[in-house]
Amino acid sequence: MSLQLPSISNDQPRPPKRARSDTSASEHSGEDSTYKRSEAFWIRDGNVILVAEQVTFRVHQGVLGRKSVIFEDMFGVPQPENAEKLEGCPLVHVSDTAEDIEHLLSVLYDGDRFLSATAQISMKMVFALLQLGIKYEIDFLRDEAINILNTAYPSSFLAYMRQHTVSSGGTERVTGRGNDDAIITINLAWKHRLHALLPGAFYACALTPIKKLAMSTRNPGSEAEDLAKLTSEDMERCLNGREHLQWMYLARYSILDVTRKSNGCLNPSVCESLRAIWKRCNEMSYTKKVFQFDFDPMEPLPLGVDEVGHCSRCESHFEGEDSRARIAMYNGLASTFGLEDFM
């Protein structure tokens, strides 16, 4: 005997639909413990929530889309009905660190605080703006980051002297600089083909204390860890360049040889004798200084009247020779670090 299903007439009331659970609706309450709300960027009238490392940033689609075609396209993709939401806003997960996203939003929302010529900015923020500016095609952020890095790691002696003058007597624009910054700059320069940054960054890297440098060889790790480590090839470039710098600095003292003459010396025999005496007395100390390498080899040699004892015309002449040697030394950094093929 077969069972017959009862018929349901059209005017018979339908049973009520079962309400969807919170899970099926993918709607989270504001107290959802899965995420941690950003203290800096939770804007009440924001209409999209970025999620980076489980940190949520409530911001405006219009602000991000206006600056980045990548964000504009991302927000323009139709979302399914069960798309994840938080407090009525769609969630967009990004692979960036929460710190980098906060740096990005800080500039997009409060750019006048960071991008004016006199505003101070951390090196961490500069690195974030470079990488996210490239990733999200925000050209003005990428260009600003490159300009700041070009100032921090100059490509010419003239630019180096401008930067050195500011750092020794004024307020530097970039704050919080550490030993790893030159290494990170080297790795980002290779990654994004910003080769003009390499000579200055390698020079700064070569000035890193040798113990610190020895711990900077790359082992397999996270991307952030790798950025703060040198490849074996770059470690070799750095150490070879460091040795060349030591010898070039030492060679600059040859201008004090007795055979070198200055134009218009007021008392040639006395000046030659004083230079010879000074060189004999100080040769050991400056040689030791060179091989300890705890100084900036671009600094001028101590050639003044008070140091050497020669006349003012000799001082002017030999300081001019040393200045030309320093210019050649800095402008030749690409060769010093074996980078000629990339310039």
Regarding whether 252 and 200 lie in a shared domain, the answer is no
Give a yes or no: residue 7 inside a domain.
no
Both 146 and 82 in one domain: the answer is: no
Same domain, 89 and 140: no
Average pLDDT, rounded, for the chain: 83
How would residue 171 be classed by pLDDT, with cut points 50, 70 and 90? low
pLDDT of residue 312: 84
pLDDT at 225: 67
Average pLDDT for 71-97: 89
Please give the average per-residue pLDDT across 315-332, as a whole number: 91
pLDDT band at 334 (very low <50, low <70, confident <90, very high): very high
What's the whole-number mean pLDDT along residues 221-243?
85
Is residue 342 included in any domain, yes or no?
no
**pLDDT, average across residues 196-201:** 97
Residues 177 and 80 in one domain: no
Whether residues 138 and 217 share a domain: the answer is yes
Predicted structure pTM score:
0.82
Q: What's residue 305's pLDDT?
A: 65
Question: What total of structural domains would you count in the chain?
Answer: 3
Q: How far apart are CA 254 and CA 247, in angstroms?
A: 12
Average the pLDDT over 131-145 and give the result.
96
Range of the domain at 41: 36-95
CATH number at residue 88: 3.30.710.10
Same domain for 220 and 127: yes
The answer to whether residues 146 and 219 belong to one domain is yes
Give yes or no: residues 85 and 129 share one domain. Answer: no
Q: Assign 217 a pLDDT band (cuts: 50, 70, 90).
A: low
The last residue of a domain, from among 199, 230, 261: 230
- The reported pLDDT for the residue numbered 228 is 87
User: What is residue 164's three-state secondary structure?
Assistant: helix
Instruction: Say if residues 41 and 105 touch (Cβ distance below 8 Å).
Output: yes
Q: Is residue 49 part of a domain?
A: yes
Where is average pLDDT lowest: 110-119, 138-147, 236-245, 322-331? 110-119
- Beta partners for 175? 122
Same domain for 281 and 221: no
> pLDDT digits over 37-47, tens only?
999 999 999 99
Q: Are the C-beta atoms of 198 and 342 separated by less than 8 Å?
A: yes
- Same domain as 261, residue 226: no
Question: 288 and 323, same structural domain?
Answer: yes
Establish if 86 belongs to a structural domain: yes
pLDDT of residue 126: 94
Query: Is pLDDT of 9 > 50?
Result: no
Whether 251 maps to a domain, the answer reads: yes
- Distance, CA of 280 to CA of 283 (rounded, Å): 6
- Could you tell me if 259 and 225 lie in one domain? no
